[in-house]
Structure 1
Amino acid sequence: MPAVSYVMPVLNEEGFLERAVETILSQDYAGEKEIVLALGPSRDASNSIAERIAAADPRVRLVANPERDIPAGLNHAIRASSHPVIIRVDAHSELTPDYTVRGVAALRETGAANVGGVMRAAGSSPVQRAIARGYNSPYGLGGGAYHGDGTPGPAESAYLGIFRREAIEAVGGYDPAILRGEDWELNLRIRRAGYLVWFEPALGVTYWPRGSFGDLAKQFFATGTWRAVLVRKYGRANPWRFFAPGLLVVSLAVSIVLLGLQVAGVLPWGWWSIGWSPLAAYALAICFAVWRIPGQRGLRDRLLTGATLVTMHTSWGMGFLRGILFGGGRVVDRSRA
Structure 2
Amino acid sequence: MAEAASSDRAARWAGRAPVQLLFLLVAVLAGMLLFPAPLVLAPLGFALVLSTLLFAAERWPQRFDRLFAARLPVPVWVAAAAFLALAFAGALSFVERLTVAAAEFALLTSLCLPWLIALAFGGDIRRAASTRLRVPTWPLTMLSLLGLTAGAVFGWRLPSAFESAVFAGFLVVSCLVAVVVPLTFAQVRSRPEPDETFGGDAPFVSVLVPAYNESGYVGACIESILASDYPADRMEVLVVDDGSTDGTYAEAAAYRDRDDRVSVYHRANGGKHAALNFALSCGRGEFVVTVDADSVLDPGALRTAVAKLDADPELGAVAGTVVIDNPEGVVGGVQALEYVLGINTLRRAFSHLGSVMVVPGCLGAFRREALVGVGGYDPDTVTEDFDLTLTLLKAGWRVELSEGVVYTEAPFSFADLLHQRLRWTRGNVQTLRKHRDVLWTPAYGSLHRFTFPLWACSLLFVPLAGMLVTATLIGAALHGTLLSVALATGYFVVVLSLVAATALDVSGGDWRLLAYVPFHVVGYRQFLDFVVFRTLVGFLRGSSERWESVARARQEPSSNAPSAGTPADD
Same fold (TM over 0.5): yes
Q: For the aligned residues, what is the CA RMSD? A: 3.7
User: Structure 2 matches for 1:103-182, cutoff 5 A?
Assistant: 103-111=305-313, 112-123=315-326, 125-126=328-329, 127-138=331-342, 141=343, 144-145=346-347, 154-157=354-357, 158-159=359-360, 160-180=363-383, 182=384
CA distance change for structure 1 residues 150 and 215 in 2, over 3 Å: closer, same or farther?
Answer: same
2:432 equivalent to 1:231: yes
**More off after superposition, 77-86 vs 91-100:** 91-100
Give the CA deviation at 1:32: 1.8
Cα gap change, 1:260 to 1:132, in 2 (>3 Å): closer
Who wins on radius of gyration, i.e. which is larger? 2
Task: Name the TM-score, length of structure 2 as normaliser.
Answer: 0.49
Task: Tell me the distance in 1 between the aligned counterparts of 2:426 and 2:371.
Answer: 25
Mapping for residues 1-337 of structure 1, pairs under 5 Å:
1-30=202-231, 31-111=233-313, 112-123=315-326, 125-126=328-329, 127-138=331-342, 141=343, 144-145=346-347, 154-157=354-357, 158-159=359-360, 160-180=363-383, 182-200=384-402, 202-235=403-436, 236=439, 238-251=452-465, 253-254=467-468, 285=492, 289=496, 293=500, 295=510, 297=512, 309-310=524-525, 313-322=528-537, 325=540, 329-330=544-545, 334-336=549-551
How far apart, in 1, do the equivalents of 2:523 and 2:373 lie?
39
Q: Secondary structure at the match of 2:435?
A: helix
- Distance across 2 between alignment mates of 1:234 and 1:283: 38
User: C-alpha separation between the residues in 2 aligned to 1:46 and 1:53?
Assistant: 12
Which secondary structure does the structure 1 equivalent of 2:406 belong to? strand
Residues 308, 206 of structure 1: CA spacing in aligned structure 2 closer, same or farther, 3 A cutoff? Answer: farther
Judge conservation of contact 1:290–1:305 (CA < 8 Å) in 2. no
Structure 2 residues not aligned, in runs of 5+? 1-201, 440-447, 502-509, 552-559, 561-570
Distance 1:251 1:194 in 2: 33
Structure 1 pair 142–57 and aligned structure 2 pair: CA distance change class (3 A): closer
Specify the alignment match of 2:443 in structure 1.
none
Q: Call closer, same or farther: CA 1:197–1:269 in 2, change over 3 Å.
A: closer
Aligned length: 322
Q: Distance in 2 between matches of 1:297 and 1:188?
A: 34
- Mark the CA change 1:230 to 1:322 in structure 2 (over 3 Å): closer, same or farther: farther
1:8-44 per-position Cα deviation (integer Å, ceiling 9, x unaligned): 1112222322221111001111242111111123343
**Which residue number in structure 1 is paired with residue 111 of structure 2?**
none
Does the aligned pair in 1 maintain the 2:333–2:513 contact within 8 Å? Answer: no
Deviation at 1:145, TM superposition (A): 0.6
Q: Deviations over 1:116-144 (max 9, x none)?
A: 23222221632424422222222xx5963
Paired with 1:283 and 1:43, the residues of 2 have a C-alpha distance of 49
Q: Normalized against structure 1, the TM-score is what?
A: 0.79
- Distance in 2 between residues matched to 1:46 and 1:310, nearest whole Å: 35
Which piece of structure 1 moves more, 325-334 or 98-107?
Answer: 325-334
> Offset of 1:151 from its aligned partner?
6.6
- Percent identity over the alignment? 24
Residue type of the partner of 2:298?
Answer: T
Instruction: Give the partner amino acid of 2:394.
Output: R
Contact 1:221 1:316 in 2 (8 A): yes
> Which structure 1 segments of 5+ residues have no match?
none
- 1:167 deviates by 1.5
Which secondary structure state, in structure 2, belongs to the residue aligned with residue 154 of structure 1?
coil
| CA distance 1:293–1:199, shift in 2 (3 Å) | closer
Cα deviation, residue 197, structure 1: 2.1
